[in-house]
Amino acid sequence: MKVLVAMSGGVDSSVAAAELRREGHDVVGVTMRLWGGESDTGCCSVSDVDDARRVAQQLRIDHLVFNFSDDFDAHVVNPYVDAHRTGTTPNPCIECNRHLKFDRLSRRARLLGFDAVATGHHARIERQPSGVWRVIRGADTAKDQSYVVHMLDQKELAYTLFPVGHLTKAQVRERASELGLRTATKPDSQDVCFISKTGGRETFLGHRIPFRAARVVDETGTELGSVDAVELVTVGQRRGLRLPGGAPKQFVLDVDVATATIVVGDEARLERAELHADRVMWSHEPLPLGSEVMVQTSAHGATQPALLDEVGADSVLLRWRTPQRRTAPGQSVVLYDPSDRAVLAGGIVR
Amino acid sequence: MNSERGRLAYLDHAATTPMCREAITAMAPFLSDEFANPSGSHRFSRSARTAIDEARDDIADVLGCAPGEVVFTSGGTEGDNAAIFGAVRRHGGVAVCSAAEHHAVLHCVEHLGGEVVAVDRGGVIDIAALQQTLDNVAARGERVAVVSVMAVNNEVGTITAMRDVARVVRASAKGAVLHTDAVQAVCWLDVRDIVMVTDVASFSAHKFGGPKGMGIMVVKAGTTLEPLIMGGGQERDRRSGTSNVAGIVASAAALRATADARATQVVRVGHLKQSLVSGIMSQLADVIETVPSAATVPGVAHLCIADVESEALLFLLDEAGVCASAASACASGAMEPSHVLGAMGIDPRFVKGALRLSLGHTTTEQDVQTAVLAVVRSVKRLRRQQ
């Protein structure tokens, strides 16, 4: 097969390219240039492109750079800023996968005659006996990334390869070392690639939106204090609220950007019986009402069982088996089958 | 990349052109037996020194300047930087350039907070706008340190009449250094005309059959620039650093060979370019020749192709064995949207499909046929699938 492998300059995608090469595929590596601004981490810096190119050279495959910065701004950076402006908590890595890796890049790959696109995600793709394609959790449960690639539909699943999904991270690093790849010991990327460590989220957003001070109140409306930027506060947050010490720990229960008000209370007050999600994408067909699913609400969070209470055109209402802590609006929620192995759907918390 | 044809059509001469035989032959001794540092006082050094002095004479003859006005540098970028920073640091005042300049000029001027002047639809500096800019600087009570305008645009190949630029600068910015980036001019124009009307001109050897890492700057007598690189005082204190003897000798040989062959090559390559452009445009709709051939050098065919993306087109051309380019690449190697096409006001629908096919002394009729076939097939394929 002729495979285009997305190489970020990290160890996982380096080994993904190596695995495909070892299997005898005709492999071309590509690094996407996404962010044109200041950055010190993630997949956009020149040194990461250098790493990807050097690995490709060592593997004797061609390496290209595609400039997709226009789509990255439009679909990842601008929505990230807008989300903060409107008081929700976005997940830019998921939007990047949705709009860049598994849309713009795969469209480009098809156009150029490739048979598949590959990435270094720790997840697997299986075709079930029924013929339905599913994303399956990666073999390394601690590094599983099925949550961030949940948006793959049948068409994309049939076109995508995850060559390291069956390996543990330790095995990936071992293979990179054996091959003498310079990325073998490179640390995992952790942060949002377009936010620099020195400035952080506050500086990044501060250059793009005006921060508004907000009142911090308890559930009865009594004012307890204030913060400088309502845009930087997230549901469930405990630190950085500048509340007087000595009192019981207070958590953010709600953020109302319109009135610049932050409601705080005891942790127990965050518990919810249900969760509403919009922009839901089913990887195949929607499940019937009443089906039990396992639900994950953060990249490496635990999953919890829930029942499908309502299924709309692109929304779902989930009823938790036992009440769960509220998830911040804007976060992604991913539904797995009852064995907690295969991705069924994903959406955005309302 | 693999070519199924087993033959490559190299059409990226504006990026770099193969070294000519004369240059390779001339430099060879200086990579082996003639290894000395020309600044020394022994016989080996004197021999190397002689080679440099002869090269300088030869270059001055081709460029139409005095030998003492020739300064050797590391390339076009250094020449551009040395002219702009050198003029501003020595004389003070404002740096001015056109919006279609190579980044080696544009980024220097922007860094210094200078003035960037609009260009017309063909990429030529708008003379009225230049006049206005110079008048505005004077009206603010400031002086113009340097005006930098390229002789031939590296992306679209447009020729600027430096005489017209000089007339305005001499009249409205007395004492300003007039610099030209003439990197793309050498193969196609008699550069003596350019050198005659400017104070400083930058050239790059690998664009005319010399080696990479070698540049020539003409700094006219009476023009003073603060040196960019200080040290041992080589090049009469204008550019320190041990002389690149092999590079200098090769550059002189390449420049002479290029000048000798120029009249013939201009006609030969001009015909090739015509058949390249007409071959593509007669078979594809919605393609524009970015600047009409009459206004450009024979070596650059620049097309804007609607409804395709340059990156995808270049990949397919590469697969078909055609080496071409689009705009300039950034540090990561990614294609950047062209500031030149932006400044020229080209329809955005066409800008995304920018394609530069640049021809040179080794280009053949076969290269052109291969490229026409590959471009037509690739564009049709991309348009069909989109």
Task: Provide the CATH number for the domain around residue A110.
Answer: 3.40.50.620
Strand order in the sheet with B287-289: B287-289, B300-305, B354-358
A256 and A290, same structural domain?
no
Which two tokens mark A269? 């007050």
A110 and A51, same structural domain?
yes
Mutant choice from B325, B332, B382 vs A, greatest count of A C-beta within 10 A: B332
pLDDT 10s per residue in chain B (386 long)? 444 445 799 999 999 999 999 999 999 999 999 999 999 999 999 999 999 999 999 999 999 999 999 999 999 999 999 999 999 999 999 999 999 999 999 999 999 999 999 999 999 999 999 999 999 999 999 999 999 999 999 999 999 999 999 999 999 999 999 999 999 999 999 999 999 999 999 999 999 999 999 999 999 999 999 999 999 999 999 999 999 999 999 999 999 999 999 999 999 999 999 999 999 999 999 999 999 999 999 999 999 999 999 999 999 999 999 999 997 666 667 777 899 999 999 998 899 999 999 999 999 999 999 999 999 999 999 999 87
Contact (CB<8Å) B332/A31 = yes
**In a domain? residue A33:** yes
A16 and A158, same structural domain?
yes
**In a domain? residue A302:** yes
Catalytic one of A43, A44, A93, A193: A193
A252 and A322, same structural domain?
no
How much is the pLDDT for B335? Answer: 76
**In a domain? residue A311:** yes
Q: Which of A265, A284, A302 represents a domain boundary (last residue)?
A: A265
A54 and A28, same structural domain?
yes
How much is the pLDDT for B386? Answer: 75
Q: Count of domains in chain A? A: 3
**In a domain? residue A49:** yes
Q: Give the C-alpha distances (Å, rounded to integers) separating B161 from B150, B189, B302, B317, B381.
A: 10, 11, 20, 34, 40
How much is the pLDDT for B3? Answer: 40
Residue B15 in contact with partner chain A when CB distance is under 8 A = no
A144, burial (CB in 10 Å: exposed 0-12, middle 13-18, buried 19+): buried
Domain housing A259: 210-265
pLDDT in tens, A8-53: 999 999 999 999 999 999 999 999 999 877 655 544 578 889 999 9
Task: Find, in chain B, the residue whose alpha carbon is nearest to that of A9.
Answer: B332
How much is the pLDDT for A42? Answer: 47
Q: Give the C-alpha distances (Å, rounded to integers) separating A310 from A295, A317, A337, B207, B374.
A: 15, 5, 17, 68, 55
How much is the pLDDT for B5? Answer: 42
Pick the closest to residue A120 from A31, A185, A206 (CA basis). Answer: A31
**In a domain? residue A9:** yes
Mutant choice from A7, A33, A72, A105 vs B, greatest count of B C-beta within 10 A: A33
A260 and A282, same structural domain?
no
A219 and A317, same structural domain?
no
Where do we find the tokens 């697969």? B319
**In a domain? residue A187:** no
Q: Cα B260 to the chain's mean position, in Å?
A: 19
A251 and A166, same structural domain?
no
* C-alpha span between A53 and A33 (Å, rounded): 13
**In a domain? residue A185:** no
* C-alpha span between B302 and B121 (Å, rounded): 14
ipTM for the complex? 0.87
A287 and A238, same structural domain?
no
How much is the pLDDT for B320? Answer: 96
DSSP string, A93-142: HHHHIIIIIIIIHHHHHHHTT-SEEE---SEEEEE-TTS-EEEEE-SSGG
* C-alpha span between A62 and A49 (Å, rounded): 13
Q: SS3 for B123? A: coil
CATH of the domain at A318: 2.40.30.10
Ordered domains of chain B (ranges, CATH): 9-19+262-385 (3.90.1150.10), 21-258 (3.40.640.10)
Q: Which of A154, A178, A202 represents a domain boundary (last residue)?
A: A178
A239 and A305, same structural domain?
no
**In a domain? residue A224:** yes
A291 and A342, same structural domain?
yes
A144 and A39, same structural domain?
yes
Q: Which pTM value belongs to this model?
A: 0.91
User: Which residues of chain B make contact with A111, given a CB cutoff of 8 A?
Assistant: 312, 382, 385-386
Minimal CA separation from A130 to chain B, in Å: 30
Q: From start to end of chain B, where are the E strands?
A: 9-10, 70-73, 94-98, 115-117, 144-148, 177-181, 200-204, 215-219, 287-289, 300-305, 322-323, 354-358
Q: Which of A178, A201, A221 represents a domain boundary (last residue)?
A: A178
